[in-house]
Amino acid sequence: MYSKYQNKNIRIRSFIEADISTMCALVINSAAEFSKYLPWVTSDYNEEHSRMWVSWAHYNWQTQRQYDFVIDDVNTGEFLGGIGLLEVDFNNKCAKLGYWLGTPHTGKGFTTQAAGLIMEFARNELALEKLIIRVAEDNLPSIAIAKKLGAVLAYIEPTQEFHNDHWQDVWVYELPLVENDVVSKEAGKYFSA
């Protein structure tokens, strides 16, 4: 597992057992926002859910199906959220990108920075060439992050996800990682040095 990707503000690292209670507290404190788009955030979320998440993250690393990272503050070590590469497809050199950030930490650029770091990991460690970002049509902060990273809207999946008591379209963005494709300056400035 990896913990070497960081910039001057944040780092991404593997989940460890010590993250369980901190993750649980952050998820519970952010549940009002999270539950709009993250089906795993339920009203009965508790420490056992976080324990299962950390265990599942370790299993996924071993099987190379998914790579989940903690986003934390490089100076204080504070747990800020999570980011991951989902449904990794080595044959087609792509994966889905998912992310969540605790409500107290939003609006500070941390998710965009973490995405820049995980893009570097995906390219350097896994030889991936493209990331897919699936976003509910009304999740404007996630759409803004995809655009900042240089992702391009590839297509719309009509009525694919049930959020906020109604079916929503899912906007599917593609984010190229290969050297000869354009990667936005916004994302590039967050790569580790």
Higher pLDDT, 90 or 138: 90
Q: Which two tokens stand for residue 100?
A: 């969540």
Amino acid identity for residue 187 in this structure: A
Domain boundary assignment for the chain = 5-188
Which fold does the domain 5-188 belong to in CATH?
Answer: Aminopeptidase (3.40.630)
Nearest-angstrom CA–CA distance, 118 and 136: 21
CA-angle at 46, arms to 44 and 49, nearest 5°? 105
Nearest-angstrom CA–CA distance, 91 and 174: 17
- Proportion of the chain above pLDDT 70, given as a percent: 83
Task: For residue range 91-145, list pLDDT tens digits in order.
Answer: 999 999 999 888 888 889 999 999 999 999 999 999 999 999 999 888 888 899 9
Residue 24 has pLDDT above 60, yes or no: yes
Nearest-angstrom CA–CA distance, 128 and 145: 20
The DSSP bridge partners found for residue 11 are 6, 72
- Proportion of the chain above pLDDT 90, given as a percent: 52
Three-state DSSP state, 89 = strand
Residue 4 has pLDDT above 70, yes or no: yes
**pTM of the predicted model, to two decimals?**
0.85
Mean per-residue pLDDT, 84-96:
96
Q: Which of 47, 52, 67 is nearest to 1 (CA)?
A: 67
Dihedral (CA of 10, 56, 145, 173) sign: positive
Q: How high is the pLDDT of residue 183?
A: 47
